[in-house]
Amino acid sequence: MPSPRDDCLFCSIAREGAYVNKTKGFVAIHDINPKAKVHVLVIPERHVDTFREVGEFSAKETKRMLEFVAETAREVGLNDYRVLVNVGRSAGQTIYHLHWHLLGGDASGEDIPAGVATAEAEL
């Protein structure tokens, strides 16, 4: 496992956050500025800047990461939800440590604002 980056917020949170869910190598936390009734972030302990570098995870880690996203949704009571990764500045990425947004709990998925869910309009 590569060393955590001292200057990375999500490296710090992955080490010592208040978790919604945790498994080996991955944590889930509540988003500090929720864009849906339930807005959870799944964060790998391994630092990669963006989803572009997802190939740095082994096949086994990648499978576990995706399973953990689904398992976390179940844990927080979501059956219907959106899974989203912003990749790069113009797509809305503000924190350069890979993370998966889990958004749900609203009556309609259409309530999720454009800034988080549909940044493709600006691409």
Q: Does position 32 bind ligand AMP by CB under 6 A?
A: yes
As to burial, measured by CB atoms within 10 angstroms (0-12 exposed, 13-18 middle, 19+ buried), residue 16 is exposed
Residue with tokens 């849906």, as numbered in its chain: 36
The entry of ligand AMP, Zn ion, none that residue 11 binds, CB within 5 to 8 Å by partner kind: Zn ion
- Three-state secondary-structure class, residue 83: strand
For residue 105, what is the DSSP state? -
Q: Which is nearer to Zn ion, 49 or 111 (CB)?
A: 49
Residue 99 is a catalytic residue:
yes
Enumerate residues 57-116 that contact ligand AMP by CB under 6 A.
Answer: 86, 92-95
- In the sheet with 26-30, reading across from the earlier edge strand, the strands are 21-23, 26-30, 38-44, 100-104, 81-84
Beta-ladder partners of 41: 29, 101
Q: Does position 3 bind ligand AMP by CB under 6 A?
A: no
Q: How far is the CB of 18 from ligand AMP (least distance, A)?
A: 9
Structural element, H or E, at residue 46: none
Q: With contacts defined by CB under 5 A, name the span among 11-19, 23-31, 64-72, 79-87 that binds Zn ion.
A: 11-19
Active site residues: 99
- Interface residues with ligand AMP (CB under 6 A)? 9, 29, 31-33, 41, 86, 92-95
